Structure formats: structure tokens, C-alpha cells
Structure 1
Amino acid sequence: MGSTGTVLRELRGAQKSAKGVSLYSRYVNRPAGRVLAAGAYRAGLTPNQVTLISALFTYSALAAVALVEPSWTLALAVYAALALGFAFDSADGQLARLTGRGGPDGEWLDHVVDCGKLLLVHTAVLISFHRFGELPSDGWLLLPLGFQFAAVVTFCAGLLREHLGKAAAAAGQPTGAPAAPVSRVRAIALLPADYGVFCLVFLLLGAPGAFRAGYAVLAVVHALFLAAFLTKWFRELRALRPG
């Protein structure tokens, strides 16, 4: 693999399945990550180094949310850093599949960074609300905590569903119904739960009232998705019981 074009063609063949992925991740984040992965490959970076670059952009943006008074300049800077961090989060896995240099350590590091991101993003919003927000009531301070609960439980439960399903398959147990084909309707329906779409709300940081409203709407949507996902995953795992 010599030229960047050749690397990009190889990366197109090293993509995860589009099943269960929103349109944003499929058509925006993964292609952006592909370009970053090609650049990382040309620069000789490892997948773990790309993961740490993702963390640097993401965590720096979240620190700014917590420590800097909201403004339109901050909004643009935070969104750009979060979006870039998310693209690098896609690039590390693509680079690992391209080079064959992935492993349990890389998967672990990626999940640790992702879990930290989900905890910190809502913590940063909570701190910003407390420090800079002229809130209608103190009850608004509970909103980031509820959103954090929904996001972290969804993330952890999804990981457990995936790993328990793999364990059942490795043990030779039936894994349930055949996988459904990729659905564009589902990909559209998943847009509100996509982290990349969530990042867009930070473009409203310059208008605190609009940001609170957008953040609250997404919190409700994520709570509804949490209930739906937990019900679905529980039924799928119950179907894996032997006998």
C-alpha cells in the first residue's frame, strides 16, 4: 500500500457492518474516520495512538465546556473538537483492521476512552450550568445527571449484550434469529441517539436557552431509546438460554 488513494481503497474494504448504525455514522463519521485512518497509516501511527488523539480532542473540548463561559466562539470550537474526536474514534478501529495491529489492549483502551467521554460530557454540562447558566430553577441541574445515567447504562448494557452474545456463539449455543438486513429506516430512526448528532447541540452554546432546550430534548430521546434497547437486549439474551 503506497499512495493515500490505495490506502483509502483498502480501508473501504475494512469497514464494520452498517447494521445498527445511524446515517450520520455511516455517511459522515466513518468516511471522515477513513481519511484520518489513511493519514495515520501514512504517518506510521498505531491504532492506540489514534485512540489517544481522539481522547485529546474530546476531553479538551469538554474541559472548555466546563471552564469557559459559553459563547458562539466556544460553541464552534467545542463542536469542531468533539466532531474531530469522534472521527478519530472511528479511525482507530479502521486502522487496526487495515494493519492487523488491533488486539484486546486496543479494544480495552477504546472502551475506556468512550466510557470516560460519556461520563465527562454530561459532567461538563452540569458544571457549565452551575457556573454560567442563569437557570429558571435548580431542577435543571438534575438534567445532566439523568442524561448521564441514560447514556452510560445504554453504553455498558450494549457492550454486555455484544460480549454475552459472542460468548454464547463461542460455546456453540444458538444465537437467536438470523441477523436482520441493514435497514435505512432504522438508520434514520437511530439518528437522535447517535453521538455525532448529539455533538451538534453544542453549536447552541452561544444561546444558553436554546442549548438547554436542545439538550433536554435529546435527554428525553435517549431515555426512550434506553428503555427500548434494554427491552430488546433482555429478550435477545433470554433467548440464548440453553435448553
Structure 2
Amino acid sequence: MAGVGAGTGTEDTFRGALARLRAAQKTSRGVSLYSRYVNRPAGRVFAAAAHRAGRTPNQVTALSAAVSFAGIAALALLPPSWPLALGVWAALVLGFALDAADGQLARLRGESSAAGEWLDHAVDCAKITALHTAVLITFHQHFALPGEGWLLVPPVFQLAAVMIFFGGLLTDKLKPRPAAPPTAPAAPPSRVRAVALLPVDYGTMCALFLLLGDERAFRLGYALLAGVYVVFFAAFSVKWFRELSAAGAARASSAARS
């Protein structure tokens, strides 16, 4: 697979790599405002820097995992405080930006691969699972909970978050690809949809940990966001099932006519 630029002369500078990355972005359809205007641009900067340093996409994925899991480990092991809140947020946000960088670096270098995509998604799934497990540990070890029912919130949140991640990936893999690229220009991404998706953007989850210094504020904010994730999971599940059912019916009808 060819890269997005020649990678020689001035194009191999940091600014040249950044310009080439800006010209080769994935579609913004189905992407929240945070990912579109904050995380992806930050990822471009890291991807350009990694390209200049001669790093590989898998090395960037490994760095993203190391930073993210350092923050998750701190969350699980240390008592909540405002400095910890800032540290966990910074580690998760940096890990998220690096997660956006590895795929962009792969496209820049022309090194996209199934193995690299698998590694990226496996790290993402592990990160989501570990993060809510760390919150459960914090609830049990460090919070004066008003009732044991609060210990059910992290597993429910974890289930909804993992299923949204997994369901979205699986739906994208199972959807039939168009036989030929569309001739008409694609409609611009919906800003309303981008705003509506903010509650289930990982950047919003990262921001939640800025409340970690106040037990009650964090606990209530976490429970509220957990409820939002459950609602989104239910809505997404219905949407994805209907889309795949319609695609299957269309395939069957097409096969019957041929």
C-alpha cells in the first residue's frame, strides 16, 4: 500500500508530514466534536513527530497503552485527590491522542496492516475494561459509599462501554461494502450528530476523572454517565441490528433476481 506522500525532501520534515496528514484524514461522519476537533488534530501532531523520529505505528500503539495503563494503575492504587485527578485525566487524554496517532502514522508510512489494526483494537478493549475495573477498586477501597449497590455501577458501565465498542466494530465489519465508490459528493458530516455523540466519546470519559478529587461529585457524575452509556447502547443495538437486517434482505433480494 502506498503512503499519503512521497516522504522525500521537504515533505519529510515535521511540517511536511503534518500537511500530508491533514490532506489524508478519514471521514468525520459518526465522529463526535471532541474527536474531530481535539483528538484527531492532536494525533496528527504526534503522528508527524513519530514519523520524523522513525517510530513505527505499533510502537506508537505500545506508547499509548503504556501511558493509558499508567493512569489506570494510579487510579486503582492511589487514594483519590485533586493531583491524582489531574494526573489520571492527563494520562488518559495523552493515551487517547496517541491512539489516534498510530493509525494516521500507518497511513502516512503506507504500513496499514491487519495485525496493526488488531493490536490497536485489542489495546482499546483492554483499556476500557481495565478503566472501569479500576473505578470499581476505587469505589470499594477508597470511597465511603452510601450503599453496596454502588458497587454495581462500574460493572454495568463496563458492560455498556465494551458492547458499544465491540458492536460498532462488528457492525462496520459485517456491513457490505459498495461495489464502486459513489459518484455524487458525500454530504458533510452532521454537526448535530457530532454533538449528540459527545457523551459516549472517550474524551468525555477522560474529563470525568477531573472530578476525582471530590468523591460525591465523581460518584454522581460517573453514575450519570453510566446511565447515558446504557441508553446509547440500547439505541445503537437497535440501529445496528436494523441496518444489518436491511443489508441482509437487500443481498437476498439481489441474489434472487440474478
TM-score scaled by length of structure 2:
0.89
The alpha-carbon deviation at position 2 of structure 1 amounts to 2.6
One-letter code of the match for 2:160?
Answer: A
* 2: CA distance, partners of 1:148 / 1:94: 28
One-letter code of the match for 1:151?
Answer: A
* 2: CA distance, partners of 1:218 / 1:120: 17
The alpha-carbon deviation at position 237 of structure 1 amounts to 0.1
One-letter code of the match for 1:74?
Answer: L
Q: Which residue of 1 aligns with 2:3?
A: none
Q: Percent identity at matched positions?
A: 60
The alpha-carbon deviation at position 179 of structure 1 amounts to 7.4
Deviation sequence 1:56-86 (CA, Å, 0-9, x none): 0111100111000000010011100000000
1:219 pairs with one of 206, 216, 226? 226
Q: Which residue of 2 aligns with 1:239?
A: 246
* 1: CA distance, partners of 2:177 / 2:52: 37
Measured on the aligned residues, the alpha-carbon RMSD in Å equals: 1.5
Distance 1:179 1:2, change over 3 A: closer
5+ residue gaps in structure 1?
Answer: 173-177
Matched, 1:43 2:82: no
* 2: CA distance, partners of 1:231 / 1:180: 24
Runs of 4+ in 1 over 2 A off after TM superposition: 178-181
The alpha-carbon deviation at position 163 of structure 1 amounts to 0.4
One-letter code of the match for 2:165?
Answer: F
2:207 pairs with one of 178, 200, 209? 200
1:146 pairs with one of 156, 160, 164? 156
User: Where do 1:6-155 residues align within 5 Å?
Assistant: 6-155=16-165
The alpha-carbon deviation at position 180 of structure 1 amounts to 6.1
Deviation sequence 1:77-122 (CA, Å, 0-9, x none): 1100000000000000100111111100100000000000110010
5+ residue gaps in structure 2?
Answer: 1-10, 180-184, 254-258
Deviation sequence 1:16-65 (CA, Å, 0-9, x none): 10000000000000000010001100110000100010000111100111
Distance 1:219 1:180, change over 3 A: farther
Matched, 1:2 2:12: yes
Deviation sequence 1:199-220 (CA, Å, 0-9, x none): 1010111101100011111101
One-letter code of the match for 2:177?
Answer: A
* 1: CA distance, partners of 2:108 / 2:202: 24
Matched, 1:190 2:197: yes
Distance 1:29 1:12, change over 3 A: same
**Partner SS state of residue 240, structure 1:** helix
Deviation sequence 1:178-204 (CA, Å, 0-9, x none): 976410000001001100111101011
Q: Which residue of 2 aligns with 1:210?
A: 217
* 2: CA distance, partners of 1:224 / 1:194: 14
Distance 1:234 1:181, change over 3 A: farther
Q: Which residue of 1 aligns with 2:7?
A: none
Q: Which residue of 2 aligns with 1:175?
A: none
Q: Which residue of 1 aligns with 2:177?
A: 169
